[in-house]
Structure 1
Amino acid sequence: MIVASYDLAACVTSIGIAFFAFNIGRRGTVILGNIVAVIGSVLQASSYSVAQMIVGRLCTGFAIGCISAAVPSYLSETGGEIADRGPANALNGIFLISGVPIAYWIDYGFVHWNAQASWRIPIIFQCIFAFVSGGTMYFLPDTPRWYYARNRYEEGDAVLSRLYDADVSSEKVQSTRTEILFAIEAELEASASLHWKQFLTMGFVDKTRMKIVRRLWICFWLTMIREWMGSSLIGYYSAIILSSVAKPSLVSLLSGVLNTFFALGCVPLYFTVEKFGRRSILLYGACASTCFVTAFTVLVAIGGSSAVNWAAVAMIFCLLFVFGWAWQGLVWLYCSEIAPLEYRHIGGSFTACGEWLMVFITVFAGPIGFDNIGWYFWLWVISGNVVAIVFVALLCPETGGKTLEQVDYLFVDKAFAGLRKNFDIDAEDAEANIGEKSNEEREENIANISKSA
C-alpha cells in the first residue's frame, strides 16, 4: 500500500486538476506539480513513520498527476510545424523512461549500504529533477492556444510569433491564428449539445457534433489499456518476475539491464513517428507485444531447463523494447492530439487518470497474483494486449500530418455547419464570436463536465 499510494494519489489528482487546470494553464500546472514534488520528496526522505511516508508519497503522486496531465498538451501545442509534435513527445518519452533505469541504478548503488542514508538519499535525489523542470518552466510562456482560449489574444500572438520566428503580421502566423480561433469557435458551438449523462455511456453514446465525449473517453481508455499490457507490472516488479526464470545472483543485475533496455526502446520512436504515423505504430506494436508476452507466458509455464528460462528472459526483453517504441511515449502524444482544444486539460486529466488508475491496480494486485496463481496471472496481461489491438483498429483514426485543429475533422459530423473547410471566416470574426461567450460561462460549462467525470 505504501508503494501503491503514489499511483492512487496520481489517479485522483488527474481528475481533480480538471477543475482548475484551465485557469492556471499548462505551464502553471507543470510548475505546481514540481513544487509539490519537492515537498513530497522532503517528507519521504525525512520520514520516521509509515504515516509520514504515505503522506509524502501522496504528495509526489499529486505532483506526477499534474505533470503527466499537462506536459503532453504543452509539447503538442507549442509545436511550430506539424512534424514537430511527434519528435517532441517522443523525446519526452525517452527522458521519461530514462528516469526508470536512472532510479534503479541509483538504488542498486545504495542497496548494500547498511545505513539510513541508503534510502533517504535516493528519495531526496528526486528534488534535482523537480528544480530543473519547474525552474525551466518558470521562464517559458504558456501555449498560444491556451492564451487564445482565455481571450488573451495579444499574448497568444506574441507566443505564436516566437514559435514561428516571424512577425505577427506574417502569413504563417495569421493563418495559424485564424485556424486556432476558428476551432475554438466551432468547439464552443459543438459543446451546446454536451450533457454530463453522455459520460456515463463511456463514449458509446455521444450526441455532440464533434464527438467530444468519445474523444475524452478514448484518452482514458488508451492509457488504461496500455498499463493493462504489462509495462508497469514489469517495471515495478522486474526482480520478482525475473526471479522465476533467472539465478538469484543475476536477478538484480538483469533487472537494471531490463529497465535500461526499456528506455532504449523509446529511442526509435523519435525517428519513425512522423514517417509511419501514430495509428500504425500503435496497432503493429500491440500485435508484436501480444506475440512476445504470449511466448513468455508459454515458456514460463513450461519452465525447467536453463535454455527455456533464458528464452523467457529474451522474450521479456523484446516485449519491453517494442512496448517502449510503440506505446510508451506515443499514447500521450495521441491523446493530446485528439482532445479538443477547449477541453484539452480535461483530456489530459482523463489520460493521466487512466494511466495511474491501472498502474495502481497493477502495482497493488501484481504481487498478490504472482503469489496465488503464478504464471496464470500473465493471461490477464495477454488479454490486455489483445484488447489494445481491437481498440486501436476500431476507434483510433490517424492524426499524423495534421494540425491540432484539423484533427477535429476526423471526429466531426459531416452535417455540422460549425466547421467550414474553406475557412470562410477571418480571425477578427472568430475572435468576436468567441468573445460573446464570457470566460465565466465557459468555465462553468467545463466545470460541469469535470464534475460529471
Structure 2
Amino acid sequence: MFEVLIQGKTLRWLTRVSCSVSFFIEGYQAGILGGVQTTSQYLDAINNPTGAYVIPMIASSYTLAAAFMSVMVVVVGMPLGRRNSIMLGNLLIIAGGVIQAATFSVAQIIVARVICLITCNVAMYMSEMSIHARERGPEVAINCASLLAGVAISYWVDFGFTQMTNQFSWRFPIGLQSLFAMIPAIGMFFCPDTPRWYYAKGREVEGDMTLARLHGVYNPATPLSEAHDQAIQLVKAEIMQSIQLEAEQENRLSWISLVWDNTPLRVGRRVRISFIILSIQQMMGIDIMVYYMTLIFTQVGLSAFLASLISAVCLTVQFGGALLCIPTIERMGRRNIMLLTSSVQSVCMLIFVVLEGMPHKTDATQWAAAGILFPYLFMYGWGWVTCPWLYGPEIAPLKYRHIGAAAGLFGEWLFTFVTVFAGGIGIQTVGWKIWIWPLVFNFIGVAFVYFMCPDPTGKTLEEVDALFVKDANLVNRLPQGLEDKSNVQELEKV
C-alpha cells in the first residue's frame, strides 16, 4: 500500500525531511553542552568535577565513539544498508538523550553521549536518492544547513533555559534531542534503501521498483511504467556499468591501494581524499568554537550573559552561510566555493590570532576579536560544512561508497575528538596560542583543494569516475551520461 502511495515528490520530500532532521540532531547534540557546561546547576549535578580534562572529555566522548563506529561501517555498512544504518542511529539518539537528561555523574553522561551516534550514511543516502546530478548538491546542502540550524538552536535553547536556576534548566535542553530523533526514525521506516545499494547487492527488482518510485511512475502490476521505461533503464544502465567495472580484479580496493594507489579507477586515492578533506574540515577549529563558544567570549572579556547571547548570534550567522550554499553549490561548484571560503577564513583567523596575542588588550581589540569570528563562521558555513560532507560520497565508486563515507567520517570524528578534547584543555592552559593550530589548517585547506580535489559538480555519480581515471581505454568504458536526457527531464516534472 505505502509503495503505491509514497512515491514521486512525496517520497523525495520524506527522504529530505528525514535526512535533514538527522543532520539537525547531530548539530544540536554537538552544541547543546556548550551553553550549559559552565552553569552551576549542571556542575552540581555531576558533583563539580575538577581537572582541566574532565569537561573536555565529557564534550568529546561521543565523537571518539563515533570515530570507532565509522570504522565499523566499513564492515557492516554494505550488509546493513544506508536506510537501516540511519534508523539505527536515530534509535540510539533516543536512548542516549534520555540517559543524558537523567544523569547524576560524569561516568553516566559520558556513557550516554557515547550511545548518541548518527551514522555516516545520511549524506550518502541523500546523494544516491537524487534523481538528477544538479539536485545532489542542493539536497545535501539543505541537510548540512539543518546541521548548523541544530547548532544555532541548541545555543538559543541554552540561552533561554540557563536563565533558570534549577535542574530543569539543563536537563530539558539535553533531553529534547530524543524527541527530535523520533521524526527521522519514523520517516525512514516508510522509505526504501537507495536504488544503487539494491543493484550493488544484486536485488535488481527492488532497485527497479525504487527508481520507479523516485520518479513517481511505480505501478504494482508493472514495476516499470512502459511510458517511462526507457529513461529509467538508461539510468539503471549507468549504475550497472559502474558496478561491473568496479568488480574487475584490478579495480578492487586493497590495503596497499589505500597507501599507494595504482588501480585504474584510483579507488584508494578517492578513499584517502574522503578521509583527508573531512579531517582538515575539523582541524580548522570549528568544533573548538562550537563546544566552547561561550567560554571563548568570556575569555575575550565579555560578561557571562553577553557571551551566551553573542554565541547564539554567532552560530546563527554560520547557519546563514549554510543557507547561501544551497543556491550556489551547483552554480559555483564545490571546488570554487571551498577555495574561496578557506582563503577568507585564513585571513579572518590570522586577524583573530594577532588580536588575541596582543600583550595589552583594550575594549576595542576584544570586540574586534569577537567580531572577526562572524565572517569566519559565515564563510565556514558556506563552504566547509556541505562541500566536504558531500564530496567524499560523490567521488567514491558505488561498491566502495560506504567505505569512502566511513573513511571521511572517521577522519571527521577522530579529529573532532582531538580538537574538542585537546582544544578544551588548550583554551584553559595556553590561551590564545591554541588558535595557531586552526590558522595553519585553514591554509592547508586551500592548498589541498587546489591540488587534490577535481570538481564533480554537474556530473552523475557514475560520471565522476572519469575525473580520476588516467587510462584512456578505461575512460571510454565509463558512463558518459544519458544519451537522451529529454525523457529524464520529463520525469523530473512528475
Q: Is TM > 0.5 for Structure 1 vs Structure 2?
A: yes
Which residue is 1:229 aligned to?
A: 284
1:9-408 paired onto structure 2 within 5 Å: 9-60=65-116, 63-64=117-118, 66=119, 69-166=120-217, 167-169=224-226, 170-189=229-248, 194-199=253-258, 201=259, 205-248=260-303, 249-302=305-358, 304-408=361-465
How far does residue 108 in structure 1 lie from its aligned partner after superposition? Answer: 1.9
**1: CA distance between counterparts of 2:254 and 2:76?**
20
8 Å contact from structure 1 (residues 158, 168) kept in 2: no
SS at the partner of 1:399?
Answer: coil
Once the two structures are overlaid, the 10-residue window that deviates more, 369-378 or 149-158, is 369-378
Which residue is 2:49 aligned to?
A: none
Runs of 4+ in structure 1 deviating by more than 6 angstroms, as ranges, are: none
How far does residue 113 in structure 1 lie from its aligned partner after superposition? Answer: 2.5
SS at the partner of 2:115?
Answer: helix
8 Å contact from structure 1 (residues 209, 416) kept in 2: no
**2: CA distance between counterparts of 1:153 and 1:349?**
25
**2: CA distance between counterparts of 1:227 and 1:330?**
13
Query: C-alpha deviations, 1:179-208, integer Å up to 9, x for none?
Result: 000001011115555431333x2xxx2021
**1: CA distance between counterparts of 2:470 and 2:348?**
39
Which residue is 1:434 aligned to?
A: none
What amino acid does structure 2 have at the position aligned with 1:96?
A: L
Residues 1:411 and 2:468 are matched in the alignment? yes
**1: CA distance between counterparts of 2:154 and 2:355?**
30
Q: Quick one: structure 1 residues 280 and 168, their matched pair in 2 at CA, closer, same or farther if it must change by over 3 Å? A: farther
SS at the partner of 2:130?
Answer: coil
**1: CA distance between counterparts of 2:336 and 2:480?**
30
8 Å contact from structure 2 (residues 463, 478) kept in 1: no
8 Å contact from structure 1 (residues 236, 363) kept in 2: yes
SS at the partner of 1:32?
Answer: helix
Which residue is 1:451 aligned to?
A: none
In structure 1, list runs of 5 or more residues that go unmatched.
427-453
8 Å contact from structure 1 (residues 5, 58) kept in 2: yes
Normalising by structure 2, we get a TM-score of 0.81
Q: Quick one: structure 1 residues 357 and 168, their matched pair in 2 at CA, closer, same or farther if it must change by over 3 Å? A: farther
**1: CA distance between counterparts of 2:248 and 2:464?**
17
Query: C-alpha deviations, 1:384-437, integer Å up to 9, x for none?
Result: 00110111011100100100000011112315548515779x9xxxxxxxxxxx
In structure 2, list runs of 5 or more residues that go unmatched.
1-56, 218-223, 484-494
Query: C-alpha deviations, 1:323-375, integer Å up to 9, x for none?
Result: 00011111111111011110111111111111111110011011222233222
Q: Quick one: structure 1 residues 40 and 336, their matched pair in 2 at CA, closer, same or farther if it must change by over 3 Å? A: same
SS at the partner of 2:248?
Answer: helix
1:401-440 paired onto structure 2 within 5 Å: 401-415=458-472, 417=474, 420-421=477-478
What amino acid does structure 2 have at the position aligned with 1:90?
A: A
**1: CA distance between counterparts of 2:252 and 2:72?**
24
**2: CA distance between counterparts of 1:50 and 1:255?**
25
Q: Quick one: structure 1 residues 83 and 346, their matched pair in 2 at CA, closer, same or farther if it must change by over 3 Å? A: same
**1: CA distance between counterparts of 2:475 and 2:448?**
29
Aligned residue pair count: 417
How far does residue 306 in structure 1 lie from its aligned partner after superposition? Answer: 2.0
**2: CA distance between counterparts of 1:158 and 1:125?**
37
Which residue is 2:4 aligned to?
A: none
How far does residue 304 in structure 1 lie from its aligned partner after superposition? Answer: 1.9
Query: C-alpha deviations, 1:292-313, integer Å up to 9, x for none?
Result: 1111111222252222222222
Query: C-alpha deviations, 1:146-188, integer Å up to 9, x for none?
Result: 0100111111111112223344553321111000000010111
SS at the partner of 1:86?
Answer: helix
Query: C-alpha deviations, 1:11-38, integer Å up to 9, x for none?
Result: 1111112211111211010001011111
**2: CA distance between counterparts of 1:368 and 1:270?**
36
Q: Quick one: structure 1 residues 190 and 412, their matched pair in 2 at CA, closer, same or farther if it must change by over 3 Å? A: farther
How far does residue 272 in structure 1 lie from its aligned partner after superposition? Answer: 0.2
8 Å contact from structure 1 (residues 190, 208) kept in 2: no
Once the two structures are overlaid, the 10-residue window that deviates more, 236-245 or 399-408, is 236-245
**2: CA distance between counterparts of 1:371 and 1:52?**
24
**1: CA distance between counterparts of 2:239 and 2:141?**
24
What amino acid does structure 2 have at the position aligned with 1:141?
A: P
What amino acid does structure 1 have at the position aligned with 2:441?
A: G
Which residue is 2:7 aligned to?
A: none
What amino acid does structure 2 have at the position aligned with 1:160?
A: L
What amino acid does structure 2 have at the position aligned with 1:294?
A: L
